[in-house]
Amino acid sequence: MSRRPRLENFRRIVVKVGSSLLIDSDAGEVRASWLQALAADIAKLHNGGSDLLIVSSGSIALGRSRLKLPRGPLKLEESQAAAAVGQIALARIWSEVLDDHGIGAGQILVTLQDTEERRRYLNARSTIAKLLEWRAVPVINENDTVATNEIRYGDNDRLAARVATMASADLLVLLSDIDGLYDAPPAQNPNARLIPVVDTVTSEIEAVAGDAASELSRGGMRTKIEAAKIATTGGTHMLIASGKIEHPLQAIADGGRCTWFLTPANPVTARKRWIAGSLEPKGTLTIDAGAVNALRAGKSLLPAGVIRVDGQFARGDAVVVRGPDTREIGRGLVAYDAEDAERIKGRSSPDVMSILGISGRSEMIHRDDLVVGPQGPETAK
């Protein structure tokens, strides 16, 4: 039996479309017939009962051509102003191509802050839920005109993964200019083979992706793997497929080439999905092998298991948890600020009480605030 899931069986699908697919780089205009074909694929899945969401890039590229800006790199404020012009056009184009199928489109522009801050995240999530309930298709992009360097996603691969977990989607499709992840850079190595299914994003997979950074477009394979980690840890399957062909979603449904990144079947709570997707962890806790086993068995992280504390974080901030070999084990919301964490690391619970002069719970990260990533095969480092 094939291990490939079937596209039409997914209940909620996020489709990410990059600028290089949507905009013809010579003409600077939208590739209309390609987009119409994609919209037809989207409508087919939508009419089959699935919820569809689109994460679309293209505002800067489109704005640039509408404003007839010269080629060459743009300064930050120039890209932001170009995005302001391009985003209006982009929203209109999506609205029209979906309207051809009787589907309403709703524009949502988000910044990193909107998804990192829980209250804003919940707000965006309920807007998306309402649109889907009304059978509209949310069309989402980063709010490029206001996102400053510090609060930028910067690439829509990670934004799409964040949106997918936020919307509790069960599938994220990254349409790319390459048809999947290869075991070597395909442009340089004719023997490079496509990897059809990735069960776990291991350090080997990350290394392969680093080498295969063959794409010209923003993002590249590295950010796609980053997206795969966010998606699969948050309970969403992901796939990378070529968007260079007409009807790219139909091609996947027909068994076309692509790379699937599978999520383990365990349901993930909404809160944990948010934690798993945090893009700006404020610090790192390195833990010993015993604590790694405890975490994988579903326990909380106790101060005794922490061997190293890095970063400036406050109580409640997201931190990355790494094993003794520096491999990421998971992410969580830490119960102490960095200074206290440093004081109590490696200490038993009664010690912690006397060091901090408090009584009560002493977990460094409570299990409810902790997301442990899928466990890959052990690798010698």
7, 14, 15, 19: residue in contact with ligand GLU (rule CB under 6 A): 19
| Choice between 240 and 370, CB closer to ligand GLU | 240
Of residues 51, 114, 155, 215, which one binds ligand GLU by CB under 6 A?
A: 155
- 237-242 and 197-198 as β-strands: parallel, antiparallel, unpaired? unpaired
Nearer to ligand GLU, 55 or 291 (CB): 55
Judged by CB, which is closer to ligand GLU: 86, or 234? Answer: 86
**Of residues 50 and 56, the one with the C-beta less far from ligand GLU:** 56
* Window 172-211: contact mask with ligand GLU (x via CB under 6 A): ----------------------------------------
Candidate residues 4, 120, 218, 327; the one interacting with ligand GLU per rule CB under 6 A:
218
Which stretch, 140-148, 311-319, 326-334, 356-364, contacts ligand GLU (CB under 6 A)? 140-148
Question: CB-wise, 113 or 284, nearer to ligand GLU?
Answer: 113
The CB-of-323 to ligand GLU minimum distance in angstroms stands at 31
Residue 223 amino acid letter? T
List, edge to edge, every strand of the sheet that includes 197-198. 105-110, 137-142, 51-56, 12-17, 171-176, 237-242, 258-261, 197-198
Q: For residues 55 and 285, which CB has a smaller minimum distance to ligand GLU in the complex?
A: 55
- Report if residue 239 touches ligand GLU, rule: CB under 6 A: no
State in angstroms the smallest separation of the CB of 142 from ligand GLU. Answer: 4
The candidate with the shortest Cα–Cα distance to 40, out of 110, 84, 100, 82, is: 100
Interface stretch with ligand GLU, choices 136-144, 200-208, 241-249, 275-283 (CB under 6 A)? 136-144
> And the tokens for 72?
């060459």
Residue 333 φ then ψ, to 5°? -95, 120
Distances (CA, A) of 298 to 261, 271, 303, 353, 366: 23, 16, 16, 24, 10
Three-class DSSP labels, 72-98: CCCCHHHHHHHHHHHHHHHHHHHHHHH
Is 243 a binding residue for ligand GLU by CB under 6 A? The answer is no
Among 13, 60, 258, 338, binds ligand GLU (CB under 6 A): 60
Q: Which of 10, 13, 15, 18 binds ligand GLU (CB under 6 A)?
A: 18
Q: In the stretch 74-113, what mask flags binding to ligand GLU with x, by CB under 6 A?
A: ---------x------------------------------
The single residue among 58, 234, 281, 303 that binds ligand GLU, judged by CB under 6 A, is 58
Residue nearer to ligand GLU on the CB measure, 172 or 302: 172
User: Which of residues 41, 51, 114, 142 is near ligand GLU by CB under 6 A?
Assistant: 142
Q: Could you tell me if 350 and 285 are in contact, meaning their C-beta atoms sit under 8 angstroms apart? A: no
Q: Which residues contact 49 (CB under 8 A, 6 or more apart)?
A: none
**Among all chains, which residue has been given the structure tokens 């038993």?**
348
Instruction: Decide: is 219 part of the binding site for ligand GLU (CB under 6 A).
Output: yes
DSSP 300-354: PBPGGGEEEEEE---TT-EEEEE-TTS-EEEEEE-SS-HHHHHHHTT--HHHHHH
Residue 75 Cβ vs ligand GLU, minimum distance, rounded to whole Å = 15
Among 57, 65, 145, 259, binds ligand GLU (CB under 6 A): 57
- Tell me the site size for ligand GLU, rule CB under 6 A: 15
Instruction: Give the Cβ contact number of residue 322 at 10 Å.
Output: 19
How distant, in Å, are the alpha carbons of 36, 40, 85, 173, 242 from that of 246?
A: 9, 10, 27, 15, 10
Q: Which amino acid is at 352?
A: V
Amino acid letter, 35: L
21 vs 37, which CB is nearer to ligand GLU?
21
Burial class (CB in 10 A: 0-12, 13-18, 19+), 357: exposed
Contact residues toward ligand GLU (CB under 6 A) are 18-19, 57-61, 83, 141-142, 144, 155-156, 218-219
